[in-house]
Structure 1
Amino acid sequence: MLKFLKRLHWMDYVILCVVITLAVIIAARMGTALNYNWRWDKIPNYLYRYKESEDAWVANLLVQGLYTTIRIAIYSSILALILGVVLGIARCANNLTIRMLARTYLEFLRNVPPVVIIFIFFFFLSEQLITALNLDRWARGIARSDDAAVWTFFFGDMRRFPALISGVIVLALFESAFVGEIVRAGIQSVDNGQREAARSIGMNRFQEMRYIVLPQALRKVMPPMANQFITLIKDSSLVSLISVPDLTFKTVELVASTRLIFEAWLTAAAFYFVICFGLSMLFRRLEK
């Protein structure tokens, strides 16, 4: 901590003082001009609550939403990475049909508002897939069973499992378009001499991509990929529009029932900031 403070310039302290002063002024103006009654003492009750039947503290609305957001972010990131790598490789394929199909998918998703994309994928793909696989009945059966603890740990309330899967699918399909373009740029940044050297020693297309191109491309795409995963966490708030009980959805519920408008949204913003800032620091270390 002391080393960090020593690196700060005097201008950093000035900016910090200005930010704190502005925050205090805004809070004071909200209390006077808007006649808003701050009730921060109520927020801890919506983080955790004491459940007498279990004699333990359990997660309440905001923490439940936070857990769901983390689950959606993790599963969507994995699925978006897999789809994005496939799309990025397809964009560099020799076959014109494969390249055009991949480009059509990428260009469509990158040039249409995300809210529209989420509704399209939800009603025309995700919901149909869940109905076809009968996931709703299966999830309710798991929720009523005695050995649901492991499922609950990974997926939360199994009665809301279809909603969670819907959020993961639509978010991953949307974000995979951006991951695909990042992977495509990384692949094309590898010098052609590397490819020619691979072919000269008898490597086929798959071996060239696996052993020569992708290892070099991954190092180059790490910074933009890290930024995209952080963006994915912030974009996860959009799945609340399709009734996925994430942090944003739970915050809306809390505001509607308690009128803790600023307290609830500032708490949600703090949760998002901590997650994104923590990932930013982690990826910065990985880049080094």
Structure 2
Amino acid sequence: MRHKKRVKLHWLDYLILAVVIAFIGVIWFRISGSLNYKWQWERIPNYLLRWDEEEQRWFTNLLLQGLINTLRIAIYASILALILGTVLGIARTAQNLAIRLVARTYLEVLRNIPPVVVVFIFFFFLSEQLIAALNMERWARGIARQDDIAIWEFFFGDMRRFPSLISGVIVLALFESAFVGEIIRAGIQSVGRGQREAARSIGMSWSDEMRFIVLPQALRKVLPPLSNQFISLVKDSSIISLISVQELTYKTVELVASTRMIFEAWLTTALLYFILCFGLSLLFRRLEGSGAR
């Protein structure tokens, strides 16, 4: 039977903890005293969940709506980024020089331009054009007018905001796919050259070699960095609030503008992001641990 090793705190740990507490105390005093700020924490729960007297049930309010939308965007964008990133990673290791150059150019450009600039470029030059070409806004409004749209709202939220949601997903996925592509490329190149040569010696084509030999091994090796990238994607989703996507950061801006609860709103938002990202970190750590057994 294994006994868990007790963690002993060093005097330096206590010192760091004391400094952190003192820092928080000073900030709190400065806000309350010098700025003459009136805290209104009692109002925050109402912006997470609100009680409707007419229907006699709870509804999600601004902050919780934003958190749910952030989770939706992160899931859909991560799926699309994984698909695009896998294609880019394979292209980076292709035998054809032109394909390698195109994939590398895409990756290097996105990795060396500030995210905000990338978001605006993709939004105005690609995402908006695609939504207009597919007439997605008219289609979404038609869905929103229907009576039974519970399944649509579960997956996409308010259907009147569907084009905005899709814009955010596309922009975020295109940006994150550059980082996923490099992770996939590293995973592919980590597979031993001898295995690939053995596959060719028995007559396997390049596509079969990638499908049956390389990618299954590469994906197992890249799962930890892909998990970290998903958590980064959740945090990076705050950037798309700049293009009016109704996620958590955007909803917080709305809340601050209407209530002037600057510190309460942003501290609550920071806590929600922390809970979501830390929870995902623990989940991925457990999955990695169970997969290693």
| Per-residue CA distance 1:78-111 (angstroms, 9 max, x = gap) | 0000100010001111111111111111111111
TM-score by length of 1: 0.95
- Give the Cα–Cα distance (whole angstroms) in 1 for the partners of residues 234 and 257 of structure 2: 24
Per-residue CA deviation, residues 214-270 of structure 1 (Å, 9 max, x unaligned), is 122122212221111111111100110000010000000100111100000000000
The 3-state SS of whatever aligns with 2:263 is: helix
Q: Report the 3-state secondary structure (helix = DSSP H, G, I; strand = E; otherwise coil) of the residue aligned with 2:50.
A: strand
Confirm or deny that 1:165 pairs with 2:166: yes
Give 2:283's aligned residue.
282
Aligned equivalents of 2:181, 2:93: Cα separation in 1: 11
Tell me the residue number matched to 1:136.
137
Once the two structures are superposed, residues 1-55 of structure 1 have per-residue CA deviations (whole angstroms, 9 ceiling, x without a partner) of xx98932434545433432332223212221122211110111111111123322
Say what the alpha-carbon RMSD is for the aligned residues. Answer: 1.6
Aligned to 2:46: 45
Aligned twin of 1:191:
192
Residue number in structure 2 paired with 1:30: 31
Q: In structure 2, what is the equivalent of residue 9 of structure 1? A: 9
1:120-156 deviation digits (Å, cap 9, x = unpaired): 1111111111111111111111111011100000000
Segment drifting more, 77-86 vs 98-107:
98-107
Tell me the residue number matched to 1:59: 60
Shift of 1:196: 1.0
SS of 1:36's partner is coil
* Paired-residue identity, %: 71
SS of equivalent to 2:39: coil
Name stretches of at least 5 consecutive residues in structure 1 with no aligned partner: none
Q: Which residue of 1 aligns with 2:104?
A: 103
Once residues 43 and 220 of structure 1 are traced to their aligned partners in structure 2, the CA distance between those partners, rounded to angstroms, is 43
Aligned partners of 2:176 and 2:132: how far apart in 1? 24
CA deviation string 1:188-217 (max 9, x = no partner)? 111101111112222211121122111221
Separation of aligned partners in 2, 1:224 and 1:112: 22
Residue of structure 2 in register with 1:258 after alignment: 259
Instruction: Give the whole-Å Cα distance in 2 for the aligned partners of 1:64 and 1:161.
Output: 14
Report the Cα distance in structure 1 between the residues aligned to 2:202 and 2:83, rounded to whole angstroms.
29
C-alpha spacing 1:96/1:61, structure 2 compared with 1 (3 Å): same
Q: What residue is the counterpart of 1:150 in the other structure? A: 151
Structure 2 counterpart of 1:249: 250
Separation in structure 1 between the aligned mates of residue 5 and residue 252 of structure 2, nearest angstrom: 35
How many pairs were matched up?
286
- Name the structure 2 match of 1:208: 209
Rounded Cα–Cα distance in structure 2 between residues aligned with 1:150 and 1:55? 22
- The equivalent of 2:128 in structure 1 is 127
- Per the alignment, residue 78 of structure 1 pairs with 79
SS in 2 for 1:57: strand
Q: Secondary structure at the match of 2:58?
A: strand
**Which amino acid is the alignment partner of residue 34 of structure 1?**
L
Corresponding residue SS for 1:50: strand
- State how far apart, in whole Å, the 1-side matches of 2:246 and 2:172 are: 14
Letter aligned with residue 101 of structure 2? M
| Residues 159-202 of structure 1, C-alpha deviations (whole Å, 9 max, x = no match) | 00000000000000000001001101111111101111112222
Give structure 2 stretches of 5+ with no counterpart. Answer: none
Return the alpha-carbon distance in structure 2 between the equivalents of residues 232 and 86 of structure 1: 19
The residue that corresponds to 1:117 in the other structure is: 118
Q: Decide whether aligned partners of structure 1 residues 8 and 209 sit closer, same or farther in structure 2, where only a CA change above 3 A counts.
A: farther
CA distance in 2 between partners of 1:85 and 1:260 (Å): 43
- 2:180 maps to 1:179: yes
**Partner of residue 272, structure 2:** 271
1 CA distance for matches of 2:132 and 2:138?
9
Q: List, as ranges, runs of 4+ consecutive aligned residues in structure 1 with deviation greater than 6 Å.
A: none
